[in-house]
Amino acid sequence: MLRPISEELEGADLGDVRLNRRLGALADALAAMPSVGLPRACRTTAALEGAYRFLSNTGVEPQMILEPHLTETRNRAVGQGAVLAIHDTTEFGFGGETRGHLGRTNNDQAGFFAHVTLGLRAADREPLGLLNCQTWARRTKESTRKERATVRYRKRADKESNRWTTGVDQVEEAFEGVAGVGPLIHVVDREGDQYRLVARIIEHRSHFIVRSFQERRLATGENIWEATAKADVVFEREVRLSRRRPKHGRASHGPREGRSARLAVSASTVDIRRSKGPVNRGAPPSLSVNVVRVIEIDPPDGEEPVEWNLLTNLPIDTREEIAFVVDCYRARWTIEEFFKAVKTGCAYEKLQLENERALRNALAIIMPIAWRMLLVRYVARGSEPMPAEKVLTKTQIEVLRNTPWTTLPKRPSAKDALCAIATLGGHIRNNGEPGWQVLYAGLRDLMLLEVGWRARSDQS
């Protein structure tokens, strides 16, 4: 059953029972109406003032709030087979001159960054929850793009690029001693293509899929792109590419219209050389890695072909094993949906909080809510039959059955129930599968209808 967010966070130890209760109440209020802002979500002046005091409390830290969810995610990973640990970075920008103390984002807004690791079940991409979260702000001139390119910055121990290895280390450390968890597969986009990162994951005896970006030289002296292009095509596959909007300051992420693409997939094994620089000192002089190459056949005129070179230590002996690597990397898009759920579904960047502590504490509450948005969509789209009682209470099912805009069969499945919820949120069946935004809008309306239903029942 989709539990209240307060239950997901109930293990938090904030040092005061009253703070623990406030966290649960605030989390449930935001989960019920995630996109409307604190004043409407809290409903009363007293609750709103309590929320502001809680978020700004100097004794409350984001990690204290988030830790119970991280623990629950690890618990959900037990017995699930291989787990994808998807790593990526996003920025949060906030308007208003009074928040300049936050630091600067890539587009020079007041704000800060978060490096997140999201856990998925590898078998079917079920979102298990967050595995890690790091936040930081750029506050000095050394944090500008020009300064980050200098030799002096590259030698610093606290440079931003360390977030990738730090994230891997923290996830691996958290899983130490957790019995029954399948192999971890760390999935990283090209921004994290670092020799030291690959070496560190191998040291942890885990698996990785890293999209190669650097023009690496191999132990044979060849360029990695030239070497992998010689491999024979193992299979071809038709996939749907989503529409992509350009990202600020990211020339490698240009705009793209959605289209169907025919992809050719090949695989080979190479020895990559250690990159120069102080950051790789102590790493092996070379590493043997497998490379799965994916390239688009006959892209439309004017469009750049899709091309991935995926570094991995997963086996590539069979077509099925190679396809597994490709599918695991394609699952990386889920973390982009997660960031969208935080920013759009929960309207995080629209929160009217001036205080940096309050913003970071609010983010720690909102992230589990965003995860649940993805989980609702996963259940709604799932092919495995599951009774509606697994995701909704009996009262919620009764409300849906008696709502004039929705219909339910006599014995509804979880998918039937969530499709009815999507209808409440404004989904039209002819538009295909419902997304998390319309599902969560419908879930919010269902919760409001449930309040009225219970009130009527209490009076009768």
Residue 41 — pLDDT band, cuts 50, 70, 90? Answer: confident
**pLDDT at residue 149 in the model:** 56
Contacts of residue 132, defined as CB under 8 A and 6 or more positions apart, other chains included, come to: 70, 115, 116, 117, 167, 170, 171, 174
From 311-315, 332-336, 431-435, the region with the lowest mean pLDDT: 431-435
Closest by CA to 210, choosing from 88, 105, 103, 120, is: 88
**pLDDT at residue 156 in the model:** 57
Answer whether 92's CB lies under 8 Å from 193's CB. no
Q: At 340, list the tokens.
A: 């969208």
Q: Is the pLDDT of residue 362 over 90?
A: yes
Instruction: Say how far apart CA 100 and CA 102 lie, in whole Å.
Output: 5
Element (H, E) at 308: strand 307-312
Residue 58 — pLDDT band, cuts 50, 70, 90? Answer: very high
From 186-190, 258-262, 267-271, the region with the lowest mean pLDDT: 258-262
User: Please, what's the b/e burial string for 378-407 (b: 16 or more CB within 10 A of its CB; e: otherwise)?
Assistant: bbbeeeeeeebeebbeeebbebbeebeebe
From 38-47, 60-69, 180-189, the region with the lowest mean pLDDT: 38-47
CATH code reported for the domain at 62-246+256-346: 3.90.350.10
Domain chopping of the chain, boundaries: 5-56, 62-246+256-346, 382-459
Please write the tens of the pLDDT for every residue from 6-20.
Answer: 899 988 999 999 999
Percentage of residues in the chain with pLDDT exceeding 90? 48
Instruction: Say how far apart CA 453 and CA 107 lie, in whole Å.
Output: 47
Q: Is the pLDDT of residue 251 over 60?
A: no
CATH code reported for the domain at 5-56: 1.10.246
Q: How far is CA 228 from CA 287, 291, 295, in A?
A: 16, 7, 11
Burial category of 373 from C-beta neighbours within 10 Å (exposed 0-12, middle 13-18, buried 19 and up) = buried
9 versus 387: the higher-pLDDT residue is 9
What fold characterizes domain 382-459? Transferase Inhibitor Protein From Tn5; Chain A, domain2 (1.10.740)
> φ and ψ at 189, to 5 degrees?
-80, 180
**pLDDT at residue 144 in the model:** 54
